[in-house]
Amino acid sequence: MGLLAGKRGIVMGIANERSIATAVARTLHREGAGLGFSFLPDTGERKRNEARVRQVTEDLNPAIVASCDVTTDTDIEAFFAQVHETMGSIDFLVHSIAYAPTEDLKGPTYMASRAGFATAMDISCYSLLAVARAARPYMNKGGAIVAMTYFGGEKVMPGYNLMGVCKAALDAAVRYAAAELGLEGLRVNAISAGPVKTLAASAVGDFKKMLGLYEQSSPLRSNITADDVGAATAFLLSDYARMTTGEILHVDAGYHIMGTAQYSETNPS
């Protein structure tokens, strides 16, 4: 029997086959969870976003695949009303959503435009609070929410720029939401994943250098995979983590503990 057998929940943030959210969903499915998915509303007639998410999730037997614009409260509320109508109460929610306009992300943080900053914070941070608020009435006691963050919100990572500010805010939002929703028996945690090759990562400057730095300097001398994030997410959503909330769980081969780059390949005798 799987770790999440009998549990039902929503995964938000799948963009394509290589998304971290996709690997997370596949792991949750293998562990026995019933799943539903959101997709970014399409603006044209070709429905590309919907088609991509349906194609990626077709073998996961989704209970629902529906659009959700996380910048609009009424859209979020309508989405979770659909979820409740289709799936009944749910046990978990995975938030894997982040965005910043490219022109604001590529340059120095202090050069970000006011509009770009507002957009990045709205989608990358505030949306967690908005979806938690909308999902809350439909979540079972003991339920869990997991968001995706990054070490660039704790320390300066060259090239991460504006998104680092957004992740710092997201980390704080996780802690405050955990304190408040804990009164209702709900847990809120985040996973701080090492760099993974995704569509979103391609927008981050010096991403290839970042991969090399992690492989060279992390205690395990390795980069992570999206499947590693999926495994950690399954744990946080499971009853094994029932007393864990407000936590930022680092899945980065230990990179976050290092004060400087590794300089020796051997242990002292």
Q: How far is CA 255 from the centre of its chain?
A: 19
Question: What sign does the CA torsion over 30, 31, 35, 37 have?
Answer: negative
Which three-class secondary structure state does DSSP give residue 64? strand
Note the Cα 100 to chain centre separation in Å.
15
**165 phi and psi angles, rounded to 5 deg:** -65, -40
Helix axis angle for 114-121 and 162-181, nearest 10°, is 40
Query: How, if at all, do strands 90-95 and 8-12 pair?
Result: parallel
Q: Which two tokens stand for residue 94?
A: 């995975």
**Residue 246 vs residues 153, 182, 189: alpha-carbon distances, Å:** 16, 9, 5
Q: Which residues contact 83 (CB under 8 A, 6 or more apart)?
A: 10, 36, 64, 66, 90, 135, 138
Check 99, 138, 160, 255 and give the catalytic one.
Answer: 160
Instruction: Tell me if residue 176 is catalytic.
Output: no
Catalytic residue chosen out of the listed positions 150, 176, 240, 255:
150
Give me 216's structure tokens: 């060279």
150 a catalytic residue: yes
User: Residue 191: left (phi > 0), alpha (psi -120 to 50), or beta?
Assistant: beta
3-state secondary structure of 22: helix
Q: What is the DSSP letter of 182?
A: G
Q: Which positions are annotated as active-site residues?
A: 150, 160
